[in-house]
C-alpha cells in the first residue's frame, strides 16, 4: 500500500522538540502576558494560543515571538543541534583572549627581568 501522508510531517529520530510547547513553556515560566505577545505580533490571543499546539511554525513567526518575549529561541534551538558553530562575537572574543594572553606573557617576561635586575642590585 502506498503511504500518501505528507513526508515532511512524519516524525523522525532527532527531530526538534514540539515548538509550540517550547514557546508556551518559556512564556509561562517567565510570566509573560500572552495578550502582550499577541498584540506585538498583531494577532488575536486565541491565535497565539493555537501556536502552542503546533509542532512547528514559520521562521518569521518564531523570529517575531523571539522579539516579543526578548528571548533568542533560534540560538537556543541551534545549540540543541550539537553542530559546532561560532558566532562573530565568539570569534572576536577568542582573538581578544589570545591577544591578552600574549600581553600577559610579555608582562611576565618583563617581571622576570626586573626581578633579576633587583636581585643584582641588592
Domain positions in the chain: 16-79, 86-122
Three cell numbers, residue 4: 500518501
The Cβ of residue 71 has, within 10 Å, a number of other Cβ atoms equal to 16
**CB under 8 A, 24+ apart: contacts of 30-37:** 30/69, 30/71, 32/69, 36/68, 37/65, 37/68, 37/69
Residue 88 is predicted with a pLDDT of: 92
The three-point CA angle 41-27-21 to 5° equals: 95
Is the CB of residue 20 less than 8 Å from the CB of residue 52? yes
Is the CB of residue 71 less than 8 Å from the CB of residue 26? yes
pLDDT digits (tens, 9 = 90+) for 43-82: 999 999 999 999 888 999 999 999 999 999 988 888 888 8
Fold designation for 16-79: 434 Repressor (Amino-terminal Domain) (1.10.260)
Residue 83 is predicted with a pLDDT of: 83
pTM, rounded to two decimals = 0.67
pLDDT digits (tens, 9 = 90+) for 77-106: 888 888 888 889 999 999 999 999 999 999
Amino acid at each position: 500500500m502506498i503511504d500518501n501522508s505528507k513526508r515532511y510531517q512524519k516524525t523522525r529520530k532527532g527531530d526538534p522538540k514540539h515548538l509550540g510547547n517550547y514557546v508556551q513553556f518559556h512564556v509561562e515560566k517567565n510570566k509573560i502576558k500572552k495578550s502582550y505577545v499577541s498584540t506585538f505580533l498583531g494577532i488575536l490571543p486565541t491565535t497565539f494560543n493555537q501556536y502552542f499546539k503546533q509542532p512547528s511554525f514559520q521562521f518569521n513567526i518564531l523570529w517575531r515571538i523571539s522579539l516579543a518575549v526578548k528571548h533568542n529561541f533560534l540560538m537556543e534551538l541551534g545549540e540543541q543541534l550539537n553542530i559546532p558553530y561560532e558566532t562573530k562575537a565568539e570569534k572576536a572574543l577568542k582573538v581578544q583572549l589570545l591577544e591578552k594572553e600574549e600581553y600577559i606573557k610579555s608582562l611576565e617576561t618583563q617581571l622576570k627581568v626586573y626581578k633579576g635586575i633587583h636581585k643584582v642590585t641588592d
